[in-house]
Protein backbone atom coordinates (compact mmCIF):
# COMPACT_ATOMS: atom_id res chain seq x y z
CA UNK A 1 0.00 0.00 0.00
CA UNK A 2 1.39 3.39 -0.98
CA UNK A 3 1.66 5.88 1.84
CA UNK A 4 -0.46 8.97 1.43
CA UNK A 5 1.73 12.01 0.77
CA UNK A 6 1.76 14.37 3.73
CA UNK A 7 0.56 17.29 1.65
CA UNK A 8 -2.57 15.42 0.56
CA UNK A 9 -4.02 15.86 4.02
CA UNK A 10 -3.19 19.53 4.31
CA UNK A 11 -5.09 22.46 2.92
CA UNK A 12 -2.00 24.65 3.19
CA UNK A 13 -0.07 25.70 0.15
CA UNK A 14 3.33 24.73 1.58
CA UNK A 15 5.55 22.62 -0.63
CA UNK A 16 6.16 19.06 0.54
CA UNK A 17 9.60 19.71 2.07
CA UNK A 18 8.41 22.74 4.02
CA UNK A 19 5.32 20.93 5.22
CA UNK A 20 7.34 17.93 6.34
CA UNK A 21 9.80 20.08 8.32
CA UNK A 22 7.00 22.16 9.85
CA UNK A 23 5.06 19.06 10.82
CA UNK A 24 8.08 17.55 12.57
CA UNK A 25 8.62 20.76 14.53
CA UNK A 26 4.91 21.01 15.32
CA UNK A 27 5.01 17.53 16.80
CA UNK A 28 7.81 18.64 19.12
CA UNK A 29 5.80 21.67 20.18
CA UNK A 30 2.65 19.64 20.82
CA UNK A 31 4.60 17.16 22.91
CA UNK A 32 5.43 19.89 25.40
CA UNK A 33 1.86 20.35 26.59
CA UNK A 34 -0.74 18.12 28.24
CA UNK A 35 -3.31 19.76 25.97
CA UNK A 36 -1.92 20.18 22.47
CA UNK A 37 -3.80 23.37 21.73
CA UNK A 38 -1.73 25.06 24.43
CA UNK A 39 1.05 25.02 21.85
CA UNK A 40 -0.67 27.57 19.64
CA UNK A 41 1.51 30.55 20.61
CA UNK A 42 4.85 28.86 19.88
CA UNK A 43 3.37 27.28 16.77
CA UNK A 44 2.45 30.71 15.44
CA UNK A 45 6.06 31.77 15.99
CA UNK A 46 7.10 28.62 14.15
CA UNK A 47 5.09 29.37 11.03
CA UNK A 48 6.25 32.98 11.24
CA UNK A 49 9.83 31.72 11.13
CA UNK A 50 9.16 30.20 7.68
CA UNK A 51 7.71 33.12 5.78
CA UNK A 52 8.53 36.05 8.04
CA UNK A 53 4.89 36.50 8.98
CA UNK A 54 1.82 34.49 9.85
CA UNK A 55 0.39 33.83 6.42
CA UNK A 56 -2.91 32.25 5.50
CA UNK A 57 -1.01 28.98 5.10
CA UNK A 58 0.40 29.41 8.59
CA UNK A 59 -3.05 29.93 10.05
CA UNK A 60 -4.40 26.82 8.29
CA UNK A 61 -1.38 24.76 9.34
CA UNK A 62 -1.82 25.65 13.03
CA UNK A 63 -5.54 24.94 12.82
CA UNK A 64 -4.95 21.52 11.25
CA UNK A 65 -2.26 20.62 13.75
CA UNK A 66 -4.23 21.61 16.82
CA UNK A 67 -7.79 20.76 15.86
CA UNK A 68 -8.87 24.38 15.87
CA UNK A 69 -10.76 26.43 13.34
CA UNK A 70 -8.93 28.96 11.21
CA UNK A 71 -11.07 31.64 12.86
CA UNK A 72 -9.84 30.59 16.31
CA UNK A 73 -6.22 30.72 15.21
CA UNK A 74 -6.73 34.06 13.49
CA UNK A 75 -8.28 35.47 16.64
CA UNK A 76 -5.08 34.73 18.54
CA UNK A 77 -2.71 35.76 15.75
CA UNK A 78 -4.37 39.15 15.40
CA UNK A 79 -4.45 39.79 19.15
CA UNK A 80 -0.71 39.77 19.81
CA UNK A 81 1.41 42.33 18.03
CA UNK A 82 4.42 40.00 17.88
CA UNK A 83 2.59 38.07 15.19
CA UNK A 84 2.72 39.82 11.84
CA UNK A 85 -0.07 39.38 9.33
CA UNK A 86 1.91 40.84 6.46
CA UNK A 87 5.54 40.29 5.42
CA UNK A 88 7.89 41.73 8.01
CA UNK A 89 11.30 43.23 7.44
CA UNK A 90 14.53 41.40 8.19
CA UNK A 91 14.72 43.51 11.34
CA UNK A 92 11.94 44.85 13.49
CA UNK A 93 13.16 48.14 14.90
CA UNK A 94 10.95 48.82 17.88
CA UNK A 95 11.13 52.21 19.54
CA UNK A 96 9.76 52.28 23.06
CA UNK A 97 7.34 55.17 23.27
CA UNK A 98 5.85 54.19 26.59
CA UNK A 99 5.78 56.90 29.24
CA UNK A 100 9.33 56.93 30.56
CA UNK A 101 11.07 56.32 27.25
CA UNK A 102 8.76 58.81 25.57
CA UNK A 103 9.69 61.66 27.89
CA UNK A 104 13.34 60.68 27.75
CA UNK A 105 13.36 60.97 23.97
CA UNK A 106 11.53 57.92 22.61
CA UNK A 107 8.96 60.00 20.76
CA UNK A 108 11.72 62.07 19.16
CA UNK A 109 13.57 58.89 18.15
CA UNK A 110 10.48 57.40 16.54
CA UNK A 111 9.71 60.60 14.67
CA UNK A 112 13.28 60.90 13.40
CA UNK A 113 13.41 57.26 12.31
CA UNK A 114 10.01 57.51 10.65
CA UNK A 115 11.18 60.52 8.70
CA UNK A 116 14.58 59.03 7.93
CA UNK A 117 13.20 55.69 6.73
CA UNK A 118 10.04 57.19 5.22
CA UNK A 119 7.83 54.60 6.90
CA UNK A 120 5.30 54.78 9.69
CA UNK A 121 4.36 52.39 12.48
CA UNK A 122 4.28 48.75 11.34
CA UNK A 123 5.51 49.68 7.90
CA UNK A 124 8.51 48.18 6.13
CA UNK A 125 11.19 49.90 4.11
CA UNK A 126 11.04 49.13 0.36
CA UNK A 127 14.25 47.09 0.57
CA UNK A 128 12.61 44.78 3.13
CA UNK A 129 15.28 45.50 5.72
CA UNK A 130 13.41 47.28 8.49
CA UNK A 131 9.92 47.24 9.91
CA UNK A 132 9.49 50.21 12.21
CA UNK A 133 7.29 49.92 15.26
CA UNK A 134 6.24 51.77 18.32
CA UNK A 135 6.57 49.30 21.17
CA UNK A 136 5.38 49.29 24.74
CA UNK A 137 7.62 49.15 27.80
CA UNK A 138 10.36 46.56 27.41
CA UNK A 139 11.22 46.47 31.11
CA UNK A 140 14.39 48.39 30.39
CA UNK A 141 13.24 51.73 31.73
CA UNK A 142 16.57 52.21 33.52
CA UNK A 143 18.13 52.55 30.07
CA UNK A 144 15.50 54.86 28.57
CA UNK A 145 15.05 55.61 25.80
CA UNK A 146 15.35 52.07 24.49
CA UNK A 147 15.27 50.73 20.96
CA UNK A 148 14.84 47.03 20.27
CA UNK A 149 16.08 45.27 17.15
CA UNK A 150 14.43 41.87 16.91
CA UNK A 151 14.02 42.09 20.69
CA UNK A 152 17.67 42.78 21.42
CA UNK A 153 18.38 45.83 23.57
CA UNK A 154 19.92 49.04 22.31
CA UNK A 155 20.00 51.21 25.41
CA UNK A 156 20.16 54.96 25.98
CA UNK A 157 19.49 55.84 22.38
CA UNK A 158 19.29 59.23 20.73
CA UNK A 159 17.75 60.19 17.38
CA UNK A 160 21.27 60.26 15.95
CA UNK A 161 22.37 56.87 17.31
CA UNK A 162 19.09 55.28 16.23
CA UNK A 163 19.34 56.53 12.65
CA UNK A 164 22.94 55.33 12.50
CA UNK A 165 21.78 51.94 13.78
CA UNK A 166 19.08 51.78 11.10
CA UNK A 167 21.55 52.73 8.39
CA UNK A 168 23.93 49.98 9.46
CA UNK A 169 21.15 47.42 9.46
CA UNK A 170 20.09 48.44 5.95
CA UNK A 171 23.72 48.23 4.82
CA UNK A 172 23.90 44.64 6.06
CA UNK A 173 26.45 45.41 8.75
CA UNK A 174 26.58 43.47 12.01
CA UNK A 175 25.39 45.49 14.97
CA UNK A 176 26.04 44.70 18.61
CA UNK A 177 23.26 45.13 21.18
CA UNK A 178 24.10 46.95 24.38
CA UNK A 179 23.25 43.86 26.44
CA UNK A 180 22.55 40.22 25.71
CA UNK A 181 23.74 38.47 22.58
CA UNK A 182 26.71 39.86 20.71
CA UNK A 183 24.79 40.34 17.48
CA UNK A 184 21.26 40.49 16.12
CA UNK A 185 19.76 37.57 14.23
CA UNK A 186 17.11 37.83 11.52
CA UNK A 187 13.42 38.18 12.22
CA UNK A 188 12.82 34.63 10.99
CA UNK A 189 15.59 33.21 13.15
CA UNK A 190 14.29 35.12 16.16
CA UNK A 191 10.80 33.74 15.52
CA UNK A 192 12.15 30.21 15.58
CA UNK A 193 13.78 30.86 18.96
CA UNK A 194 10.46 32.18 20.26
CA UNK A 195 8.86 28.97 19.02
CA UNK A 196 11.02 27.19 21.55
CA UNK A 197 13.93 26.05 19.40
CA UNK A 198 16.92 27.68 21.12
CA UNK A 199 19.90 28.90 19.16
CA UNK A 200 22.10 28.51 22.24
CA UNK A 201 22.59 32.21 22.75
CA UNK A 202 20.06 32.95 25.49
CA UNK A 203 22.69 33.54 28.16
CA UNK A 204 25.16 35.33 25.94
CA UNK A 205 26.50 38.61 27.24
CA UNK A 206 25.46 40.85 30.07
CA UNK A 207 21.98 40.53 31.54
CA UNK A 208 21.62 43.12 34.27
CA UNK A 209 23.80 46.13 33.53
CA UNK A 210 25.15 48.88 35.70
CA UNK A 211 22.01 51.02 35.87
CA UNK A 212 19.88 48.04 36.82
CA UNK A 213 22.17 47.21 39.72
CA UNK A 214 22.62 50.78 41.00
CA UNK A 215 19.62 50.51 43.33
CA UNK A 216 20.93 47.24 44.68
CA UNK A 217 24.24 48.83 45.58
CA UNK A 218 22.50 51.73 47.33
CA UNK A 219 20.30 49.33 49.30
CA UNK A 220 23.26 47.26 50.38
CA UNK A 221 25.20 50.36 51.41
CA UNK A 222 22.19 51.58 53.42
CA UNK A 223 21.87 48.18 55.09
CA UNK A 224 25.52 48.31 56.10
CA UNK A 225 25.09 51.81 57.62
CA UNK A 226 21.92 50.81 59.47
CA UNK A 227 23.39 47.64 60.93
CA UNK A 228 23.15 47.83 64.75
CA UNK A 229 26.58 48.04 66.33
CA UNK A 230 27.68 44.79 67.87
CA UNK A 231 25.14 42.72 66.01
CA UNK A 232 27.77 41.55 63.57
CA UNK A 233 27.25 39.03 60.88
CA UNK A 234 25.13 36.21 62.17
CA UNK A 235 24.19 34.46 58.99
CA UNK A 236 20.61 34.63 60.24
CA UNK A 237 19.76 38.15 59.14
CA UNK A 238 16.26 39.12 58.15
CA UNK A 239 15.98 39.10 54.41
CA UNK A 240 12.86 41.17 54.60
CA UNK A 241 14.06 44.35 56.28
CA UNK A 242 12.48 47.45 54.84
CA UNK A 243 14.42 48.74 51.88
CA UNK A 244 16.26 45.48 51.45
CA UNK A 245 16.09 44.06 47.97
CA UNK A 246 15.17 40.57 46.87
CA UNK A 247 16.34 37.67 49.01
CA UNK A 248 18.60 36.62 46.16
CA UNK A 249 20.83 39.61 46.78
CA UNK A 250 20.72 40.10 50.53
CA UNK A 251 24.12 39.82 52.16
CA UNK A 252 24.42 37.31 55.03
CA UNK A 253 25.13 40.19 57.42
CA UNK A 254 21.75 41.85 56.93
CA UNK A 255 20.49 42.75 60.42
CA UNK A 256 17.54 41.05 62.04
CA UNK A 257 14.66 43.22 63.20
CA UNK A 258 14.88 43.99 66.88
CA UNK A 259 11.40 42.50 67.42
CA UNK A 260 12.02 39.39 65.38
CA UNK A 261 12.06 36.05 67.20
CA UNK A 262 15.13 34.02 66.34
CA UNK A 263 13.07 31.17 64.94
CA UNK A 264 11.46 33.50 62.39
CA UNK A 265 14.73 34.68 60.96
CA UNK A 266 15.56 33.05 57.69
CA UNK A 267 19.17 32.80 56.65
CA UNK A 268 20.14 34.84 53.66
CA UNK A 269 21.19 32.76 50.71
CA UNK A 270 24.86 32.12 50.25
CA UNK A 271 26.86 30.36 47.64
CA UNK A 272 28.09 26.83 48.10
CA UNK A 273 31.23 28.00 49.90
CA UNK A 274 29.23 30.12 52.34
CA UNK A 275 30.16 33.44 50.76
CA UNK A 276 27.57 36.01 49.80
CA UNK A 277 26.56 35.89 46.14
CA UNK A 278 28.68 38.22 44.09
CA UNK A 279 26.44 41.11 43.17
CA UNK A 280 26.74 44.76 42.48
CA UNK A 281 28.47 44.27 39.17
CA UNK A 282 27.26 43.21 35.80
CA UNK A 283 26.06 39.66 35.61
CA UNK A 284 24.59 37.40 33.02
CA UNK A 285 21.34 35.56 33.54
CA UNK A 286 23.36 32.37 33.88
CA UNK A 287 24.93 33.73 37.05
CA UNK A 288 21.74 34.66 38.84
CA UNK A 289 20.77 32.84 42.00
CA UNK A 290 17.53 30.91 41.91
CA UNK A 291 15.02 32.34 44.37
CA UNK A 292 11.94 30.53 45.57
CA UNK A 293 8.90 32.63 44.62
CA UNK A 294 7.66 32.69 48.21
CA UNK A 295 11.04 33.98 49.46
CA UNK A 296 11.13 36.64 46.78
CA UNK A 297 7.62 37.74 47.67
CA UNK A 298 8.47 37.95 51.36
CA UNK A 299 11.52 40.06 50.61
CA UNK A 300 9.45 42.62 48.75
CA UNK A 301 6.78 42.98 51.39
CA UNK A 302 7.24 45.17 54.41
CA UNK A 303 7.82 43.22 57.62
CA UNK A 304 8.83 40.07 55.81
CA UNK A 305 5.48 39.39 54.25
CA UNK A 306 3.63 39.24 57.56
CA UNK A 307 0.01 40.20 57.08
CA UNK A 308 -0.75 43.73 58.12
CA UNK A 309 -2.47 43.99 61.44
CA UNK A 310 -6.21 44.52 61.26
CA UNK A 311 -6.83 48.22 60.80
CA UNK A 312 -8.52 49.80 63.74
CA UNK A 313 -12.18 50.26 63.12
CA UNK A 314 -13.37 53.82 63.24
CA UNK A 315 -15.67 54.55 66.15
CA UNK A 316 -18.22 56.34 64.07
CA UNK A 317 -18.83 53.66 61.47
CA UNK A 318 -22.39 52.68 61.15
S1 LIG B 1 9.18 52.79 29.28
FE2 LIG B 1 10.60 52.17 27.74
S3 LIG B 1 11.50 50.37 28.55
FE4 LIG B 1 10.05 50.95 30.06
**Best residue for ligand 1 mutational test, from 138, 142, 153, 211 (most atoms within 8 Å of Cβ):** 138
Alpha-carbon distances, residue 152 vs 15, 88, 186, 202, 293 (angstroms): 32, 17, 11, 11, 27
Q: Is the CB of 70 under 6 A from ligand 1?
A: no
Q: Is the CB of 181 under 6 A from ligand 1?
A: no
| pLDDT of 112 over the 60 cut | yes
Whether 56 and 80 have beta carbons less than 8 Å apart is answered as no
Whether 220 and 243 have beta carbons less than 8 Å apart is answered as no
| pLDDT of 198 over the 70 cut | yes
Question: What average pLDDT does the structure give for the chain?
Answer: 79
Whether 6 and 20 have beta carbons less than 8 Å apart is answered as yes
Whether 180 and 204 have beta carbons less than 8 Å apart is answered as yes
pLDDT digits (tens, 9 = 90+) for 200-242: 888 888 878 888 898 889 999 999 888 765 554 444 334 333 3
- Would the CA dihedral through 106, 107, 111, 112 be positive or negative? negative
Q: CA angle, 254 as apex, 252 and 259 as ends, to 5°?
A: 130
Dist. CA 35–CA 67, nearest whole Å? 11
pLDDT digits (tens, 9 = 90+) for 127-178: 999 999 999 999 999 999 999 999 999 999 999 999 999 999 999 999 999 9
Residue 50's nearest CA partner among 68, 66, 37, 62 is: 62
Q: Is the CB of 109 under 6 A from ligand 1?
A: no
208 or 70: which carries more pLDDT confidence? 70
Q: Can you list the domains of the chain with their CATH numbers?
A: 6-77 (1.10.10), 91-188 (3.40.30.10), 208-223+235-257+292-300 (no CATH)
Q: Would you place residue 102 in the very low, low, confident or very high pLDDT band (cuts 50, 70, 90)?
A: very high
Amino acid sequence: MTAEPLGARSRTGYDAATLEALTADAERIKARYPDERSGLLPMLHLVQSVEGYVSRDGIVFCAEQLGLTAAEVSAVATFYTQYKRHPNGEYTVGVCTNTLCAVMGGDAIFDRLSQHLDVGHDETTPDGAITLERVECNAACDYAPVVMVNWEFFDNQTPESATELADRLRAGEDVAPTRGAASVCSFKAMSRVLAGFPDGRADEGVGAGDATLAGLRLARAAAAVDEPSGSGPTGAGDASSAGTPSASVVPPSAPARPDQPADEASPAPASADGAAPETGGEQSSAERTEVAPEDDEAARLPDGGKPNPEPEKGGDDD
